[in-house]
A and B are shown apart, each in its own frame.
Chain A
Amino acid sequence: MSILIIQILNSLFYASVLFLIAAGLSLIFGVMRIVNMAHGSFYAVGAFVTAWLVGRAIALGVPAGWTFLLIPVGAAVVALLGIVIEPLLRPFYRRAEEYQLLVTFGLLLILEDVIHLLWGGLPLSADPVMDALPIMRIGGLVYPAYNLVVIGVGVVAALLLWAVIYRTKFGVMLRATSQDRRMASALGLNVGLVYVSAFAIGCFMAGLGGAIIVPTQTAVLGMGIDALILAFVVVVIGGLGSLQGALVGALIVSFVRTAGIQFFPEIELAVLYLIAAVVLLVKPTGLFGTA
């Protein structure tokens, strides 16, 4: 029984991180209509920045409890990076999809090597953050309390994002731009500002995903490329451009993956890609997509 609880917690933990990445990807697609292949690399940058900051802080003698504050800092750095990059991508929004994919693929290659250049090829870890929290006992088994924090962050992020998009004026502007950018612009909306903000929010979430997962594992080269494909699977299942879709997709992928690791480890990933392919065939807009 306690194994079951732990597996459910593991799935939710994994779903939180996946949701953070996929929701950003989906938001950027919804507003700008580009599929950002570099999105996974933003996640990786978030992980590396946070791990590096935590390492610095510990070396300077900052108590481990305070290093939690570095997680939002890591995410904010990625948001800043997004603010710099978005205007550079803007000329491509009206180009054919092939070119958009290729430019963001080029950006992916560049970001991967910038990470390599800045932090070298060795994995970076941020264990002290995780170790600052106690280990809990569930039944006869132990579980790190930090994972519950990650689940909590995922839930809060989902609620906040929902509130921003559906309950604020900015959200109305965002949705208006997404539905008809020319009309929004004709009505006097500063579309450029909406683009930058949406891109920054998307990057912030990806960065947060990286920042929050790095204490439980390490930041390694190539983590962004692997994460991108899983985020693709999530948004394909849920529907590109849909927030609920990203949430449901993340949950489906996480639970299938946890079950897969337990029961059919060899084809665990293959099953996920097959689910994505089947959803694409039956309902190309995904479970919640409208576009």
Chain B
Amino acid sequence: MTADVSRVSYRPKLLLFAAATLVLVLLALLPLYIDLYQIQLLTYGLIAAIAALGFNLLLGYTGLLSFGHSAFFGIGAYSVAFLLRDAGISLMEFYILIGLPIVALVSALLGYICVRHTRIFFGILTLALSQVVWTLAYKFFWLTGGSDGLRVARPNLLAGMFTFTGGGAFQRFISAYYYYVLAVFAICVVVMWVIVHSPFGKALQAIRDNETRAAFLGLRIRRFRWVAFLISGTMTGLAGILWVPLNGLTTPEVLYWTFSGEIVFMTLLGGFRNFTGPIVGGLLFTYLKTYAVATTEYWQLLLGVVLVLLVMLLPTGIVGALSAATAKLRPKEKSA
């Protein structure tokens, strides 16, 4: 983590902007060349990337390992299901506009409790509280459908400009929804980039690296951690909101703690000490899991082995290892 100070030239930032635009354009053009199933898979991947991006504000930048982020993802998903069933809302923008404050409220509440601790106690506390949410969804079946979950129909997009009924609705929905998710994803990336490069983001990293020193600098540590938790949970919740119309169904499984484990897994896969790590990890994990599930009955075994190997051989994740490798290739530029 090199601290960029204001006297650093703007060239690297311009380069970064150009690279990001290029990736975005490529992602936007991709559906022209791949089939529908691949578009759907890529949409799932982008949603996972949003979840991991939000999660990593806490793990990578604040140094808090949450084992309860499934709660926010699931609450996002269930709020959409409730909005459709109980309020008859079928417009995606309303789902986001109403769902986000709900997720933010829950994140604020759970975060307020959880940031009293750090390290392993923080992890177990988030785990315990997310399990409370899970059992409520599981046991109050007359509200949540229990283990059957709740079905969610395809919503209308962009204030009803796009509706999906009649023949070919599924195809049209997947293609349109991909761009919808891509746009939200791009916004999330920009928002998160601004956050981690703002004074607030720098303060989080200072707290992560040395809590005592940060406290002596006058930072209100618990307040900072709380806000980070709030943002992190809300973004993961947004991923849940986006996920449910694509999946068509939400079950308590997305609230169970093993799903939190998967979010941790994807973040580590990409690398949690990098901004792009969780994005790459979320996309890659989606493909890894989908193909593992499709090819073998024993996909958990495969994922478990990958996870153990990852921790042993690539603790900084794929992006971390790649950037270390490129840094080695051009040592002169780096010292300059």
Contact = CB atoms under 8 A, between A and B. Distances in A.
Given A106-B305, A267-B136, A284 B121 contact: yes
B260 to A, nearest CB: 10
A179 B121 CA distance: 20
Interface stretch (B38-46, B124-132, B225-233): B124-132
Contacts of A117: 298, 301
A222 B308 CA distance: 20
B24 interface: no
B261 interface: yes
A116 interface: yes
Contacts of B257: 229
Contacts of A102: 264-265, 268, 307, 310-311
A109 B124 contact: no
B128 A273 contact: yes
Nearest to A35: B120
A277 B300 CA distance: 29
B300 A236 contact: no
Nearest to B272: A98
Nearest to B298: A113
Interface in A236-289: 236, 240, 265-270, 273-274, 276-277, 280-281, 284
B123 interface: yes
Interface string A89-113: 0011001011101110111111111
Interface stretch (B6-14, B47-55, B111-119): B111-119
> Which 3 interchain pairs have the tightest Cβ spacing?
A109-B304, A106-B307, A113-B301
Interface string B129-142: 10110011001100
Contacts of B132: 270, 273-274, 277
Interface of B: 59, 65, 67, 113, 116-117, 119-121, 123-125, 127-129, 131-132, 135-136, 139-140, 257-258, 261, 264-265, 268, 297-301, 303-308, 310-312, 315
Contacts of B139: 265-270
Interface of A: 35, 91-92, 95, 97-99, 101-103, 105-114, 116-117, 225, 229, 232-233, 236, 240, 265-270, 273-274, 276-277, 280-281, 284
A199 B123 CA distance: 23
A109 B307 contact: yes
B135 A270 contact: yes
Nearest to B125: A280
Q: Provide the main secondary structure of the chain B interface.
A: helix
Contacts of A276: 124, 128
A101 B301 contact: no
A289 to B, nearest CB: 11
Contacts of A232: 124, 127-128
A286 B265 CA distance: 29
A276 B306 CA distance: 32
B117 A277 contact: no
30 contacts: A35-B124, A95-B315, A99-B311, A101-B67, A103-B307, A103-B308, A107-B308, A108-B304, A109-B301, A109-B307, A110-B300, A113-B298, A113-B300, A116-B298, A229-B257, A232-B124, A232-B127, A233-B128, A266-B140, A267-B135, A269-B131, A269-B135, A270-B135, A273-B131, A276-B128, A277-B128, A280-B125, A280-B128, A281-B116, A284-B121
Given A107-B304, A109-B303, A280-B124, A99 B136 contact: no
A111 B265 CA distance: 17
Contacts of A274: 128, 132
Contact of B311 (A92, A111, A114, A269): A92
